[in-house]
Amino acid sequence: MSEQTIKQNHEDELVAKQSTTSLLSSLRLPDTYSVSGGTALPLKAIYGKLNKHRFCRIHPGGGYKFRCLVVDDKDRGETYLATPNMISHLDNLAVPKTIRLAVDSTGTPKLIGEPDIDPSSRANLWHSSLKYGIERGETTWVRIQANMSAGQYEIIESANDLGEPRWPNQSMEELINDAFSGRIIDSSDHPFIRQIQGRV
C-alpha cells in the first residue's frame, strides 16, 4: 500500500469521525424535552426523607428555610403542617422543625424537615447527625443514610464534583403550598384532631 493511499485512508477516517460526532450532537435531547414535544414543567416538590441512594444539595438561602409545626401521622403515612394556635389540641404530636429545600443530582426537588436541637434536653444522635448532614449539604453533595447499629445518620460526601444544583424557580411558599395541599391543620375540627380526640 502506497504512502499516498495510507494518507488518504487516514483523512477519510478523520472525516468519518467528525461526521459521527456532528451526528451525535444533533441527536442529543435538551433537558426540557418531553415525549409530547412540549417543554417540561417544573417538578412539584414532595415532603419526606432524602433518598439514601442519591447525592443531594440543600438550599442555603434564608428564603428557603420555613420553621413551623410538623405533625407526623405514622399510622397513615401522612405529614401535616399545623398553625401555632393548634398546639393546645395537638400537644407533643406537633414538633417544631425547619422545612428545607433539597435537590438531588437529577434536579428532583424535595422538602425535608430539619429538627430543632434543644441543648437542655437529652442528646439525640439522630437529630444532631441529620442536622450536621443538612449543614454539609449546603456547600457539597452528600448522601444521608441511617446507620442503625450506630444509632445515627451516616453522611457520605461525593468523591467527584457533580456540578451546580438545579434549583426550582418556585418560592418556598409555592413549594410548601404544593407539597402540603389539603394537609394543613388550622382548625379544631380538622379530621386528624377529631381522630386523636375520639370525635370521629
Closest CA to 190 of 68, 75, 46, 89: 89
Q: What is the DSSP string of 166-177?
A: ---SS-HHHHHH
With a cut of 70, say whether residue 6 has pLDDT above it: no
| Between 185 and 40, residue with greater pLDDT | 185
Closest CA to 81 of 64, 67, 91: 67
Mean pLDDT of the chain, nearest integer: 85
Q: What is the pLDDT of residue 75?
A: 85
In angstroms, rounded to a whole number, what is the distance separating the alpha carbons of residues 73 and 87? 15
Closest CA to 111 of 165, 160, 199, 47: 47
124-175, pLDDT tens digit by residue?
899 999 999 999 999 999 999 999 999 999 999 999 989 999 999 999 999 9
17-51, pLDDT tens digit by residue?
566 566 666 677 666 666 666 666 667 888 999 99
Cβ-based neighbours of 34, under 8 Å, separated by 6 or more:
40
In angstroms, rounded to a whole number, what is the distance separating the alpha carbons of residues 42 and 40? 7
Q: What is the pLDDT of residue 16?
A: 53
Q: What is the pLDDT of residue 13?
A: 61
The pairing of beta strand 152-157 with beta strand 65-73: unpaired
63-91, pLDDT tens digit by residue?
999 999 999 988 888 999 999 999 999 98
